[in-house]
Amino acid sequence: MRTPAGKPRARALGIPFRGIPGPDNAITDVPGVEVGQVTLIEGSGRLRMGEGPVRTGVTAILPRGRAGVGTPVAAGWHSLNGNGEMTGTAWIEETGSLSTPVLITNTHAVGPCHRGAIDWMVAHKPELAEAWLLPVVAETYDGYLNDINGGHVTTEHAVVAIESARSGPVEEGSVGGGTGMCCYGFKGGSGTASRVVDYDLDRYTVGAFVQANFGRRRELMVAGRLVGSALDVENPMEDAGRSLPPGAGSVIVVVATDAPLLPGQSKALARRVSLGLARTGTTGSHFSGDIFLAFSTGNPGILASRKVTDGGYDRMQFVPWGAMDPFYEAVVDSVEEAVLNALVANDTMSGRDDNYAPAVPHDRLMHLLTERGVNGSQLT
């Protein structure tokens, strides 16, 4: 119930959740999925573009790990609100497949991360680079705390994030692409969670990873209770005179499962992300780009865009559409918990021009929940 660095996660506070998590309660509970992160923190005080302060980074998610880059997964994406960017989605929509790493960073670092993903594949998968590469890179805005126009994220950082990707526990909070992000008027960032789904005689995992940078303070809900306005913490991001509208920022969510699914079923999982976010209170701000990607690692070797000269057919195994409800539930549950992990596994952070984002006060939050009838034995 703690991150690798020892930070408490939401369950460590006693916040109750529905569903059964995987062993690490992370997207990496899905076999083969690896996550790597590069965190950039440097400087303080007044903004000097190109010098800092720097509060940013890169997160890499590899659906089949580094060894499996180039082997497609069934994939689909969904946009709740399009004030954001996720590259490569036109090809995902066309083919229902994904075969590159997924990178998440800040809004103005999409370019270097895109190039960095290509550089890594040229070096390590040259047979793929001889054709064409359409990496998936997504973003959220960290300009409240970070020198976002300073060019601090480089192609080399993207390469290092891919090279550092591992299975197992995932660090959360102000790390990777989530380093400079804010959520519900508190310090936000990176969070993850997972759920186990039993189907027929098999057991599968659904995992979610969020880069949480969205929501107004007054919207925040925890365990079904509206708590944001009652937490009695300064809210500098929404003070009068700030340039960003309340709720601005964006959220990127990546959902993974090892259940064999069709591309359309992966897209259906991506649509359910909105419901998990709604459980934490958001109503989807116009100024927030809310974009979601889901993939299935089942059916390896299928969906490759290969030139066929000798005919033949591909065949896919998939969960029947009428049996998808437990997987939808797992998405909603894991997304809700991943957002709260991003908030709980965090500390107050200051950045450019001494702007700061306060951390969620753990003791005050749990006192409020107890007052409102929530205890850790509920919602199991």
Contact 176, 190 (CB under 8 A): yes
| Residue spans of alpha helices (H) in 226-358 | 263-279, 325-344
Q: Is 288 a catalytic residue?
A: yes
C-beta pairs of 91-95 under 8 Å, 24+ apart in sequence = 91/134, 92/136, 92/293, 95/263, 95/303, 95/305
Rounded to an integer, what distance in angstroms lies between the CA atom of residue 106 and that of residue 113?
10
Write phi, then psi, for 276 (nearest 5 degrees).
-65, -40
Q: Are strands 247-257 and 290-296 parallel, antiparallel or unpaired?
A: parallel
Q: Which listed residue (167, 174, 190, 250) is catalytic? A: 250
Tokens of 65: 């790990």
Q: Is 250 a catalytic residue?
A: yes
Instruction: Name the one residue in this structure whose structure tokens are 């989807």.
Output: 284
Q: Which listed residue (190, 288, 296, 334) is catalytic? A: 288
CB atoms within 10 A of CB 203: 12
C-alpha distances in Å from residue 371, one per residue of 112, 143, 217, 221, 368: 48, 36, 20, 14, 5
222-260: b (≥16 Cβ within 10 Å) or e:
bbebebbebbebebbbbeeeeeeebbbbbbbbbbbbbbb
For CA atoms 332, 39, 218, 366, the dihedral sign is positive
Q: Which listed residue (29, 142, 147, 290) is catalytic? A: 290
Active site residues: 250, 288, 290
